[in-house]
Amino acid sequence: MAKVCEITGRRRMKGNNVAHSKLRTKRDFSLNLRTKKFWSEEEQRFITLKVSCKGMRTIAKNGLEATIKKAQEKGYLNNLV
């Protein structure tokens, strides 16, 4: 999978660099993605996810299992075994 958060579904954004002369050139706003291992208490194993920092905060707030379930329902995470 490309640069997409597996929890929130966020992707890179497109925009413009704007020079002092108002000349515009295309640029990308990339995510703050991290490949991180989370311990699953239900499965007693580590789960590796590619998540943004916003996704990490979501996991910390709602819990790993509930967040993974919600991401699978929305279709962001479908390759988890």
Predicted confidence at residue 2, as pLDDT, reads 81
Q: Are 31 and 5 in contact (CB under 8 A)?
A: yes
Grouping H, G, I as helix, E, B as strand and the rest as coil, residue 49 is strand
- Residue found under tokens 């497109």: 14
Banded pLDDT at 37 (limits 50, 70, 90): very high
- Supply angle C-alpha 78, 80, 74, rounded to 5: 30
Alpha helices in 1-81 (DSSP H): 53-62, 64-74
Map out the domains of the chain as residue ranges.
13-74
Give percent above pLDDT 70 in the chain.
98
d(Cα 75, Cα 48) in Å, to the nearest integer?
17
Architecture of domain 13-74: Roll (2.30)
**pLDDT higher than 90, residue 1:** no
Which tokens hold the place of 24?
Answer: 């515009």
- Averaged pLDDT, 62-66: 96
